[in-house]
């Protein structure tokens, strides 16, 4: 079977995850190392204090005997006290970090608690013996959300992960990504992304975005935009009219417009199932057509993004064939008006869309050189910094700019892995390093001062 990019990417991800599972003991130990170390701190400090007490006792006796020795010992005591203070400050910082890791996600993300509380209270007050069976499904859905949320938060807080980043750290990057959508009809994203076994489209009801297990890596983070696009689409009521375009395709067009090649790479190379492309109306085929069509339509011929879109199209078609799908069905999907209708709907709405007579130049077109340079540095093994967000857009809030910066980095990391031309692809042995450096840069970026948020919008969905 000829090798294709989709297959090689998924094989690499699967192998990495299997390695992760094989190294479970190490992972658990790593998780415990940090906490053990921290939890042992009070005992260590008590011992240090006991030693200081002994010294003070000795000094009291020396005070009237030998002034010179007394002063010398007093100086040493002062140094010991300074060292202990320094150690305590360090521990204090660790405690802050641990507190953030363990408790921040839920405290800061009011939408979740508000939704759960509001929904639970509402159901509780409405529930009667007469309507129990009618309300049962609604209750179960809420319980599922609740359990998923708790499980996700527990996972995020558990400090699992690899030696470079914990799951919690990775998901803290994910939390910041939806901000790129800005405020939607007065509402802004204040919710949470949690790890789960399988990503579910229904997740947007509770404003908890889920990322499925095989993709708890930097490579899959752009996929999250599909879920957020559903939220955006629903809030903007984009699927109105007699014959609205398919909601999922509109979400794909929106996510591609906002996230660009990183979304296309992540979704095509990690998510969509090429073997499911069996007829022109199959979901996978139409979604691939929407993503690739959007990417291609919104870049100029000859531009690197346009060249990359053409390459991804070839790679996807090869993957469909290799996986036992129907390449002719995919070709028919590429020609379908379903995706172009979805793109039209999305494009008319999204302010970031390129061309189409918009008054402002598109951010992506201007920032692509930076993305390309970042990708080069990542490929060459250099350390990078997340670039500042586009300063020209006065409408952008701080959180939106920060998120935009992260998306630039996600594009750079994918571009370092998959270039417009195959000869520029990263060698398999370099991929982990590229991801590691990019994650480190994104975490550094998030450690800066928190963005100023504009006033919170309504916190419940319905």
Binding residues for another protein, rule: CB under 8 A, are 300-304, 306-307, 358-361, 365-370, 372-374, 376-377, 384-385, 387-388, 390-392, 420-421, 424
Distance in Å from the first CA to the final CA of the chain = 50
The total of other beta-carbon atoms located within 10 Å of residue 20's CB is 17
d(CA 383, CA 373): 12
Nearer to another protein, 270 or 409 (CB): 409
Q: Which of 19, 3, 7 is nearest to 432 (CA)?
A: 19
Nearer to another protein, 80 or 300 (CB): 300
Q: Which of 73, 47, 79 is nearest to 59 (CA)?
A: 73
Nearer to another protein, 391 or 427 (CB): 391
* Cα atoms in the Cβ-side hemisphere of radius 13 Å centred on 358: 15
Considering just the CA atoms, what is the radius of gyration of the chain in Å? Answer: 26
Nearer to another protein, 374 or 399 (CB): 374
- Shortest distance (Å) from residue 337 CB to another protein: 27
- Shortest distance (Å) from residue 226 CB to another protein: 27
CB-CB contact of 292 with 316 (8 Å):
yes
Nearer to another protein, 236 or 311 (CB): 311
d(CA 419, CA 426): 8
- Shortest distance (Å) from residue 447 CB to another protein: 17
Nearer to another protein, 231 or 298 (CB): 298
Q: What φ, ψ does residue 419 adopt, rounded to 5°?
A: -90, 170
Which secondary-structure segment (H or E) carries 210?
strand 208-212
- Shortest distance (Å) from residue 25 CB to another protein: 41
- Shortest distance (Å) from residue 377 CB to another protein: 8
Q: Which of 23, 321, 358 is nearest to 163 (CA)?
A: 23
- Shortest distance (Å) from residue 416 CB to another protein: 12
Burial class (CB in 10 A: 0-12, 13-18, 19+), 12: middle
- Shortest distance (Å) from residue 66 CB to another protein: 59
- Shortest distance (Å) from residue 418 CB to another protein: 13
- Shortest distance (Å) from residue 392 CB to another protein: 4
Unique residue bearing structure tokens 């398999």:
428
Nearer to another protein, 216 or 390 (CB): 390
Q: Is the dihedral of CA 222, 223, 227, 231 positive or negative?
A: positive
- Shortest distance (Å) from residue 373 CB to another protein: 6
* One-character DSSP codes across 127-158: --TTTHHHHHHHHHHHHHHHHHHHHHHHHHHT
Contacts 24+ apart (CB under 8 A), 350-357: 350/254, 350/257, 350/258, 351/395, 352/257, 352/258, 353/257, 353/298, 354/257, 354/298, 354/299, 355/298
d(CA 13, CA 453): 36
Nearer to another protein, 192 or 375 (CB): 375
Nearer to another protein, 241 or 302 (CB): 302
d(CA 361, CA 298): 12
Nearer to another protein, 153 or 384 (CB): 384
């Amino acid at each position: 079977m000829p090798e294709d990019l989709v297959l090689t990417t998924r094989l690499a991800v699967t192998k990495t995850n299997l390695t992760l599972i094989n190294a479970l003991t190490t992972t658990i130990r790593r998780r415990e190392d940090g906490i053990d170390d921290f939890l042992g701190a009070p005992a260590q400090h008590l011992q240090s204090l006991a030693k200081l007490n002994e010294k003070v006792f000795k000094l009291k006796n020396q005070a009237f005997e030998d002034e010179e020795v007394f002063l010398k010992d007093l100086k040493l005591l002062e140094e010991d006290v300074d060292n202990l203070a320094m150690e305590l400050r360090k521990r204090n910082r660790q405690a802050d970090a641990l507190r953030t890791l363990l408790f921040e996600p839920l405290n800061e993300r009011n939408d979740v608690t508000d939704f759960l509380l509001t929904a639970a209270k509402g159901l509780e007050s409405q529930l009667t013996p007469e309507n129990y069976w009618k309300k049962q499904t609604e209750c179960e859905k809420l319980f599922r959300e609740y359990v998923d949320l708790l499980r996700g938060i527990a996972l995020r807080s558990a400090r699992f992960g690899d030696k470079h980043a914990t799951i919690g750290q990775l998901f803290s990057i994910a939390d910041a990504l939806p901000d790129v959508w800005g405020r939607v009809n007065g509402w802004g994203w204040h919710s949470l992304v949690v790890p789960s076994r399988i990503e579910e489209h229904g997740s947007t009801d509770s404003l908890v975005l889920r990322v499925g297990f095989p993709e708890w890596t930097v490579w899959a983070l752009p996929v999250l935009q599909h879920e957020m696009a559903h939220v955006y689409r629903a809030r903007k009521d984009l699927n109105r009219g007699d014959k609205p375009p398919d909601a999922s395709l509109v979400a794909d067009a929106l996510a591609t417009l906002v996230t660009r090649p990183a979304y296309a790479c992540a979704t095509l190379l990690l998510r969509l199932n090429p073997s499911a492309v069996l007829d022109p109306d199959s979901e996978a085929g139409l979604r691939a057509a929407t993503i690739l069509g959007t990417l291609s339509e919104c870049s100029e011929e000859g531009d690197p993004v346009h060249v990359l879109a053409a390459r991804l199209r070839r790679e996807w078609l090869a993957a469909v064939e290799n996986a036992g799908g129907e390449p002719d069905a995919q070709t028919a999907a590429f020609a379908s008006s379903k995706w172009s209708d979805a793109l039209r709907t999305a494009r008319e709405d999204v302010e970031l869309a390129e061309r189409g007579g918009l008054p402002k130049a598109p951010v992506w077109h201007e920032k692509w050189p930076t993305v390309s340079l970042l990708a080069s540095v990542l490929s060459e093994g250099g350390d990078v910094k997340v670039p500042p967000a586009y300063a020209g857009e006065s409408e952008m809030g701080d959180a939106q700019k920060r998120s935009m910066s992260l998306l630039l980095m996600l594009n750079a990391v994918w571009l370092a892995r998959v270039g417009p031309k195959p000869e520029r692809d990263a060698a398999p042995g370099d991929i982990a390093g590229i991801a590691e450096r990019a994650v480190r840069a994104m975490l550094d970026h998030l450690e800066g001062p928190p963005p100023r948020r504009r006033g919170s919008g309504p916190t419940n969905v319905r």
